[in-house]
Amino acid sequence: MPCAFPKDGYFAHQVMWDGWVDVERPRIHIIGHWNYEPDTKKDVYVVSSADQVELFLNGQSLGFGIQSSRFLYTFKDVEWQAGTLKAVGSDIAGKKICETETKTAGKPDSIRLSVFTGPVGLRADGHDLAMVEVEVIDQAGARCPTALNPIDFALSGPAEWRGGIAQGPDNYILSKSLPVECGVNRVLVRSLPTAGKITLKATADGLKPAAVEIISQPVKVTDGLCLVMPDAGLPSFLQRGPTPSTTPLQMTRSPIHILSATAGANIDQTSKSYDDNETTGWSNDGQRSTAWVEYQFDHPVPISEVTLKLGDWRQRSYPLRISVDGQEAFTGTTPRSLGYVTLPLKPTTGKSLKVELTGQAGGQDAFNITELAAQKDDKAVGSGQGEGKGTLNIIEIEIYGPAASGPKRGITLR
């Protein structure tokens, strides 16, 4: 079933990973929509693999964005005007290599329904699903990105209503009335063992209604079991593309096995900081004196790098000291991050590595990306909400040494 609802994260990853190792096809994406109230002033964010990005509003240049984190371009305090917001990416020489635009949608006018099934259509086997996209659109057919209209659905024919989901009472599970969010939602219809014509109608106050027909195809069923496999008709693509005609890929680091760990507090929880499970972690009791954890190895090893995922990773940066067998290998504050941070160490050989907090952890949203009001994610694992500034919270740690010399086949580890 095709993905009908790519989000900003989808396009951001497409920008950064359009190529096997390095970016091969320049791309650009404007984050968010362009529907706001008059007098709104906000930062505009663009994700692009270009060397520079220029922003245009209704044909007028707003200048070049401030680049950070390689792919993020920020345009500060843009005053909203209805119309077309266009971003143009260019290379270091100023040659245009990519562009994109987003437009202000009109007032909500009608409902649009689009059906998505597997490549052989909906099978009347009693368990196949059709996904139906429901959109609130303007007169020109553009989705209204601020629409929150409640939609009422009516289903007839040989099918079972499985509904959708939205924020609200019981998350609208199995409800035949549910709202769109950002102008879009999706619902599911399940086939019955009987083939035939299925009709789905959608209505809403103040909007033109919509209806779609889905034909469920008969399939052979023996003793209640469909003999057609669920993946029947799905295309396969097994090619990886050509190997880059560059220097053979290098392994730049190798992981070090952690034998055991001790800590200033909650010693029985230390293994959760290196169990390769991002739903668990270790933290101390909030006291600066206990904000340390020490990892042991089974023999002395050269150590060159530490990768950490720390608690409350969107809001906090941590002042840390890292030492190997008592010799300082790193001191500084962890950079802002949307996940893991990698800290290069002074190359040192030892049988243990200690991570300790050297000051109060500071709070600031990573990259400070917001729409119009900041939203706190207090449900994330290790969010640290309410933790003291003497808390060290390690969700995962990975310790690395230099890789063996010589080229190796495989991906580059950095």
- Per residue in 66-109, pLDDT (tens digit) is 999 999 999 999 999 999 999 999 999 999 999 999 999 999 99
CATH of the domain spanning 254-369+382-401: 2.60.120.260
The two beta strands, 41-48 and 129-137, are: unpaired
Reported as type and span, the H/E element at residue 14 is: helix 8-16
- What's the pLDDT score for residue 377? 41
Predicted local distance difference test score (pLDDT) of residue 373: 42
- Provide the 3-class DSSP secondary structure of residue 255: strand
**In this predicted structure, what is the pLDDT of residue 387?**
53
Please give the span between the terminal C-alpha atoms of the chain, in angstroms, as a whole number: 35
The Cα–Cα gap between 78 and 87 comes to: 13
The two tokens of residue 320 are 């840390």
The dihedral through the CA atoms of 40, 43, 47, 48 has a sign that is positive
Coil vs helix vs strand at 172: helix
Is the whole-model pTM more than 0.95? Answer: no
**Domain ranges (residues) in the chain:** 8-103, 110-226, 254-369+382-401
> CA-CA distance, 207 to 185, in Å (whole number)?
16
Check if the beta carbon of residue 187 is closer than 8 Å to that of residue 123.
no
Tokens of 11: 């396009």
Name which of 319, 325, 377 is nearest 354 in CA terms.
Answer: 325
> If you average pLDDT over every residue of the chain, what do you get?
88
pLDDT band at 381 (very low <50, low <70, confident <90, very high): very low
Amino acid in the structure at residue 86: K
Flag whether pLDDT at 376 surpasses 50. no
- The top-level CATH class assigned to 110-226 is mainly beta
110-226 and 254-369+382-401 in the same fold: no
For residue 350, pLDDT beyond 90: yes
Tell me the β-bridge partners of 60. Answer: 57
Residue range 8-103 in CATH 1.10.1740.10: no
Q: What are the phi and psi torsion angles at 148 (to 5°)?
A: -130, 25
| 253-306 pLDDT tens trace | 899 999 999 999 999 999 999 999 989 999 999 999 999 999 999 999 999 999
Tell me the CA distances in angstroms from 23 to 15, 59, 138, 372, one per residue in order: 8, 29, 36, 32
Give the pLDDT confidence score for residue 405 in this predicted structure. 53
Q: What percent of the chain has pLDDT over 90?
A: 70
